[in-house]
Amino acid sequence: MPGYRGHIAGGGAAFAFALWAISFAAPTLRISLFVLPFWLSLTIMGALFPDIDIHSNGQKMLYRFLVFAIPIAAIANLWWVLTGLLMLSILPFIVKHRGITHNLWVILAIPAAPYFLYVGPYHKIIMLCTIFFTAGALSHILLDFGVAKLITRSFRIKKKRRATRRNV
């Protein structure tokens, strides 16, 4: 289990992979150099996100973000955004460590929710932000559990007990 520096490095690798995947899947997409630092920061925030349920740098970053995002959403009358941010702000208090925030389905559903709930001119931008945040969060889960344990944990697959002389 790496510390936050390991998760940041994993987020950097996930950023490079996601950028490569996007440029491969959509070769006509024009990527500006000014948006790359934003996408990198989204990927690193995603890499630190699963540890918001403990006192960590990810939790500190979350609350620093919320201090600015909640008043902006309230002033702009974006009530559905405000509701989501407030629900996100209480999440660390109601979950246990390595519980819901380390579940593959939650890691895929939380960032994808704005993509499916919002219909408008910024839909493509939200999709790209979702991809980078999710790539960072998946890198965190892979670093914590590894691929095999991630699959068994997410799909609730039970390991078969090997037959030994004692339990035969």
pLDDT band at 123; cut points 50, 70, 90: confident
pLDDT in tens, 75-112: 988 888 888 888 888 887 887 777 788 888 888 888 88
On whether residue 147 sits in a domain, the answer given is yes
pLDDT of 126 reads 85
The residue written with tokens 């960032």 in the block is: 111
Give the type of residue at 96: K
On whether residue 30 sits in a domain, the answer given is no
On whether residue 51 sits in a domain, the answer given is yes
The residue written with tokens 């389905």 in the block is: 105
> Which of 124, 111, 132, 112 shows the shortest CA–CA distance to 29?
124
- Residue 93: give the domain boundaries: 4-25+35-154
On whether residue 101 sits in a domain, the answer given is yes
Higher pLDDT, residue 122 or 44: 44
Q: What are the tokens at 124?
A: 């493509």
**Structural domain total, the chain:** 1
Residue 156 has pLDDT above 70, yes or no: no
On whether residue 10 sits in a domain, the answer given is yes
On whether residue 66 sits in a domain, the answer given is yes
On whether residue 61 sits in a domain, the answer given is yes
For residues 77 and 44, the answer to whether their CB atoms sit within 8 Å is no
pLDDT in tens, 11-59: 999 999 999 999 999 888 888 889 999 999 999 989 988 888 888 887 8
- What pTM does this model have? 0.75
On whether residue 165 sits in a domain, the answer given is no
Residue 112 burial by Cβ neighbours in a 10 Å radius (0-12, 13-18, 19+): middle
